[in-house]
Amino acid sequence: MAISVEQIKLIIAGTEETLRLVLNQPEYHQLANSENFVSELGLADAIQALSEVHQAIERSECDLVSAVVSSQLPPSGISH
């Protein structure tokens, strides 16, 4: 099953928002503060990572569009 870049961005953004919702829940904080909860990373780290991936995808799309547009422009330096 292939998905589009737009769908990938929506999934990442949706996951980021879901994690923000979880991060703001008292139940999550109770779990995270228990002595048996051991993790080097937290939800805030995951949210930041997803945000950075989303931004990187958008930058890549902009670069791709710019490259396509540039390839369609007439060569510069031509005098009329």
Residue type, 77: G
Give the tokens for residue 47: 């949210």
Gap between the Cα atoms of 72 and 75, Å rounded: 9
High-pLDDT (> 70) share of the chain, %:
80
- Whole-number Å distance between alpha carbons of 12 and 60: 15
**Structure tokens given for 44:** 């805030």
Q: Residue 50 CB: number of other CB atoms within 10 A?
A: 20
Strand segments (E) across the chain? none
Q: How far apart are the first and last CA of the chain?
A: 51
In this predicted structure, the answer to whether residue 67 has a pLDDT above a threshold of 60 is yes
- What is the average pLDDT value for the chain, to the nearest integer? 88
Q: Where are the domains of the chain?
A: 11-71
Predicted local confidence at residue 61, as pLDDT: 85
Tens-digit pLDDT profile for residues 32-65? 999 999 998 999 999 999 999 999 999 988 776 6
